[in-house]
Structure 1
Amino acid sequence: MTPGRLRALLLPLALLAGMPAGQAQTSDSRCAKPVYLTLDTGHMEVAPLMADVLKRQNVQVTFFAAQERTKEGDGSLGEHWAPWWRARAAEGHAFASHTWDHTYWRGDLGTPDKPLFKVRPSAGPRAGQDFTMTAAEYCAEIAKAADRLQALTGQKPMALFRAPGGKTSPRLIASAQACGYTHVGWSPAGFLGDELSTAQASNEALLRKALRDIRAGDILLAHLGIWSRTDPWAPAVLEPLIVGLKERGFCFRTLREHPDYATKTVR
């Protein structure tokens, strides 16, 4: 074998050896076992560490963002975190709204043709208060977070939203669809448990459950910091979970590549 032929054979192996872990696998569009990791905002303390894991593992995710209270800075979509969001955009992640004030749906009011919603934000000037929103006001709450994401990232967010806590009603979903937003929840096995107290479930137990139960096509959910968990889920579980799923033949995709949401790329 000539030296030139030998170099030609060895070059691909050398390139693979220099890639971040899993890069060859995650860049393979033919992967038959996709999963869709989504990350909602939170107190953001672990956000830099989580971003490091995603970059090291060459995994792209979909962020659902609200202007939540944080341990550092002026809210998760504030100026303090603007460089962090710009960096995630440069890495190719996808973005969508989680409502501006992390506004929970609490009940339907009004009538089907004039819907009203009882809501309770967990952030913003009315945090912890119950009050009523019209359908138009709820749409504006979704759009405000989407607009802020676009200003921070320079990218149009997906025409998707996730209601805080996943709490919705058919009327709420229909009202959001009427103003251009599709709701995205998560798969039953995709609930990764970072919202549970440490007493309920250890990180080790949550990792074992996820690796056992997750199936191809699942939408996975975790957060950029949970106030109530004393033993943080991230980054302790995040990297072992990604590595373990890759070893089982899974690949990671954003919702831009999900068959139900691929056409919802921009508003």
Structure 2
Amino acid sequence: MAAAAAVAAAAKPAAGCQGTIYLTFDTGSQAQAELIADTLNRHQIKATFFLANEKTVRGDYSLDPSWSAYWKARVAEGHAIGSHTFDHGVLVKDGADGKVVLKPGFGEHAGKQVSLSSTQYCQEIRRVDQRFVELTGKHLDPIWRAPAGRTSPRLLAMGQACGYAHVGWSPAGFSGDELASAAYPNDVLLKKSLRDLRGGDIVLIHMGIWSRKDPWAPANLEPLISGLEKKDLCFATLREHPDYLARFKK
């Protein structure tokens, strides 16, 4: 009964809010990492980050020791942080013998298809936690996001068996920051987000996309937050989301 009451309470927006928006940030090129942190701090917003070991504009990787101070700061600020799998392996299909076939974006098998068992996929999720402990002294939150959002019932069951709840994003929460800027300019994407986002939505944003010529975050993150605040929408981490609250209370 107490857990049910807590979930019900979390579903209600805070006093003075017309609803709660859940900003989430996936690692990428990390070109916008400092801007994102500065913007969230300026607005006193807590968000959720999903980490993979991705190549960055610095020439290193996002879970290298050179990023330790950055991630320690996000922990100290109270953000939620989950796994995006270590090598950012995108699901290709369910494979034989209960396995899944993935194409990692990084690591020794980058660009090649690999077949993983449930135990092996769990290791891919947990490798991020292991590295995060090395970098920050803290464990990840028990949540993960499949690279590219590609899932199957089998893949989701693997994550669940590993102790992690999967988090996607709301249809209106797709920022479009990974689309070509010529076809999807920032002002069009911003207008769409401000028009369509509602309380309860989970928003997907990347910390830098290599392929987008006109990057999304420098132009859109500040006005998106300010525009949503003007609509009396508030922000929280996924720790407060009613679908995941029970997971964090364990």
TM-score (norm 1): 0.85
Please, which of 5, 15, 24 is the counterpart of residue 38 of structure 1? 24
* SS at structure 1 position matched to 2:99: strand
Pick which of 148-157 and 236-245 moved more: 148-157
Contact 1:96/1:161 (8 A) holds in 2: yes
Q: Write out per-residue CA displacement over residues 188-220 of structure 1, whole angstroms, 9 at most, x where no aligned residue.
A: 000011011111211111110000000110000
Runs of 4+ deviating beyond 4 Å:
none
* SS at structure 2 position matched to 1:237: helix
Pick which of 69-78 and 218-227 moved more: 69-78
CA distance in 2, matches of 1:186, 1:46: 20
CA distance in 2, matches of 1:154, 1:246: 34
Q: Give ranges in structure 1 of 5+ residues lacking alignment.
A: 1-27
1:157 aligns with 2:143: no
Deviation at 1:73, TM superposition (A): 4.3
Contact 1:156/1:266 (8 A) holds in 2: no
**Does the C-alpha gap of structure 1 residues 29 and 150 become closer, same or farther in structure 2, counting only changes over 3 Å?**
farther
Contact 2:30/2:56 (8 A) holds in 1: yes
Equivalent position of 1:93 in the other structure = 79
1:176 aligns with 2:159: yes
1:53 aligns with 2:39: yes
CA distance in 2, matches of 1:155, 1:186: 25
Paired amino acid for 1:29: A
Residues 1-267 of structure 1: matches in 2 within 5 Å? 29-30=14-15, 31-111=17-97, 115-265=98-248
CA distance in 1, matches of 2:83, 2:134: 13
CA distance in 1, matches of 2:85, 2:182: 30
The percentage of aligned residue pairs carrying the same residue is 51
Contact 1:34/1:217 (8 A) holds in 2: yes
TM-score (norm 2): 0.91
CA distance in 2, matches of 1:250, 1:32: 5
Q: Give the helix-richer structure, 1 or 2.
A: 2
Paired amino acid for 2:77: E
Paired amino acid for 2:184: A
Q: Give ranges in structure 2 of 5+ residues lacking alignment.
A: 1-12
Q: Which has the larger radius of gyration?
A: 1
Deviation at 1:165, TM superposition (A): 0.4
CA distance in 2, matches of 1:132, 1:266: 34
CA distance in 1, matches of 2:246, 2:107: 32
**Does the C-alpha gap of structure 1 residues 151 and 32 become closer, same or farther in structure 2, counting only changes over 3 Å?**
farther
RMSD, aligned α-carbons: 1.5
Contact 1:157/1:266 (8 A) holds in 2: no
Deviation at 1:32, TM superposition (A): 4.0
CA distance in 1, matches of 2:236, 2:218: 19
CA distance in 1, matches of 2:131, 2:200: 29
Contact 2:18/2:231 (8 A) holds in 1: no
**Does the C-alpha gap of structure 1 residues 86 and 39 become closer, same or farther in structure 2, counting only changes over 3 Å?**
same
Contact 1:73/1:80 (8 A) holds in 2: no
Contact 2:28/2:55 (8 A) holds in 1: yes
Paired amino acid for 2:148: G
Contact 1:61/1:254 (8 A) holds in 2: yes
